[in-house]
Amino acid sequence: MPALIEGGTAGIENVVTQFVERLPGVITPAFCTISLGLLCSYLGPLNWRWERIVALGALGNGLAFALAGLLVGSLIDTKVLEQFYRDPEHATPLISVYSGLIGAVVGAMVLAVFNRSERVRKEVAARVASTSAGIREPSTPAPVVDFHAPALPSRSEAAQHLGGYKRADVKQLEGLYVCLRPAFTSADIINAYLVNVFWNDASSCLMFEEQGRVDAGHSQKGSVYIPEGQRFMSLVTVERGAIRMIILAQPEDAQPGRGLIMTLCNPGATHFTPATAPIVLKRFGDEKPELGFIRPDAAAYAGYLRELDAVMPTFGVFAAAPKLPQPAESTTIQPTDGVHLSIVR
C-alpha cells in the first residue's frame, strides 16, 4: 500500500521484486499450512487405529515438506548456498531430505494430538446426546471391571489395602449420586454429573463410575477406599501412573457426602497443574437434577452453590502457605559528627 501511494508504478515493481527474492522463505510455511489442513480434515475424523493415523500423517506431511525443500533449494541463489554447503550442487537434495524429516515429525505430532481431540469431541457429543435422551437409573448400573487386576472369586470382603470392609457394612453407600464441584476452567461455573457407586464381585470391593459428564473425555472410574474406624471414604482412580483422588465424608441418610477432590487441571494446551476443590455427593432423588456446566443464571445454581459452601471448614480445609513477617520500620539519625545510629522500633 505505501508503494501504491508513494511510489507509483516504480514502487509496485520494487515490491514485486522483493517478494520474488524472498519467495523461498514463504514456500515452506505455505506447504505446511496446506498439508496439515488437508491431513487433519481427511485423516483426523477417521476411526482408524492411532498408529495408522500418525504414520499416514508423518508420511503425507513429510512428502509435502520434501517437495517444499526441493523448491526452496532450487530457488536459492548459488552464492547463498556456498556460504552453508561445501558442495552447493548437492545442497538442493539435502535441503529436501532434511525438510522431509522435519515434516514427518511435525505431521506425526499434529495428527496424534488432533486425532485424540477428535475422539474426545465425539465422546462428548455422544454423551450429551445420551444424557438429553434420559438418565440411567440406579437399578441398571454399568459394570466397571479393572482389567489390570487378576480375577478373584466372588466374596463379600474387600482387600486389606482398600480398608478390609465387608459388603454388608457398606451396603448403604451403594447407589446413584449427583456430584457437584467447581469447574476448573471458570470460577463461577459448577460442574454437575452423576456418580454410580456399586459393589463389583470381580474386584470384591466398592467401585464408582462417573456418568453424564458433558466433558465425557475426563470421566473417571475406580475403587473406593474406606479406612477402618473413620467416617470418610476415598474414590481413587489410578491409570498409567496418573492418580486422581476424592476424599469425602460418607453420606448418611439425607446428608450428602462432602469433601475435597485433588486432580490435574488443564488450563491451556498441554500444560497441566495440580488442582483441588470442594466436592459434594448427593443422593439421586425422585426429581431429575440439572446436569452439565451450571452457570449463575441456571435455576439450580443457588442450591448447588449452598451445598459447596457447606464443605468448608468442617469437611475440608485449604491450608495457605505462611507469610513472611513484615520488616520492622526503622528510623535513622545522622548526627553532625558523621556517626550513624539506627533505632529499630
Q: What is the band of 57 on the pLDDT scale with cuts at 50, 70, 90?
A: confident
SS3 332: strand
Cβ proximity of 273 and 253 under 8 Å: no
Cis omega before residue 296 (within 30°)? no
Structural domain boundaries in the chain: 2-130, 137-309
Q: Cα angle vertex 257, ends 267, 304, to 5°? A: 60
Higher pLDDT, 343 or 197: 197
Q: What is the band of 192 on the pLDDT scale with cuts at 50, 70, 90?
A: very high
User: What is the CB-side half-sphere exposure of residue 180 using CA atoms within 13 A?
Assistant: 27
Q: What integer pLDDT is reported at residue 326 of this predicted model?
A: 75
SS3 198: strand
Q: What integer pLDDT is reported at residue 340 of this predicted model?
A: 45
Residue 334 clears pLDDT 70, i.e. is over it? no
Q: Which residues 6+ apart lie within 8 Å of 226 measured at CB? A: 158, 162, 163, 165, 170, 206, 232, 233, 234, 250
201 CB burial (10 A radius; 0-12, 13-18, 19+): middle
SS3 227: coil
Q: What integer pLDDT is reported at residue 38 of this predicted model?
A: 87
Q: What is the band of 280 on the pLDDT scale with cuts at 50, 70, 90?
A: very high
Q: What integer pLDDT is reported at residue 149 of this predicted model?
A: 47
Tens digit of pLDDT for each residue in 136-151? 444 444 444 444 444 4
- Residue listed under C-alpha cell 509435502: 64
Residue 103 clears pLDDT 80, i.e. is over it? yes
Residue 181 clears pLDDT 60, i.e. is over it? yes
Q: List the beta strands (DSSP E) in the chain.
A: 175-182, 190-200, 205-211, 221-225, 232-239, 242-249, 257-268, 271-283, 292-294, 330-333, 341-344
Q: What integer pLDDT is reported at residue 139 of this predicted model?
A: 43
Q: What integer pLDDT is reported at residue 206 of this predicted model?
A: 94
Average pLDDT of the residues of the chain: 79
| Dist CA 182 CA 188 (whole Å) | 7
Q: What is the band of 152 on the pLDDT scale with cuts at 50, 70, 90?
A: very low
Cβ proximity of 168 and 156 under 8 Å: yes
* Average pLDDT of span 300-321: 88
Q: What is the band of 300 on the pLDDT scale with cuts at 50, 70, 90?
A: very high
Tens digit of pLDDT for each residue in 251-262? 987 889 999 999
Q: What integer pLDDT is reported at residue 162 of this predicted model?
A: 93
Tens digit of pLDDT for each residue in 224-254? 999 988 899 999 999 888 888 999 999 987 8
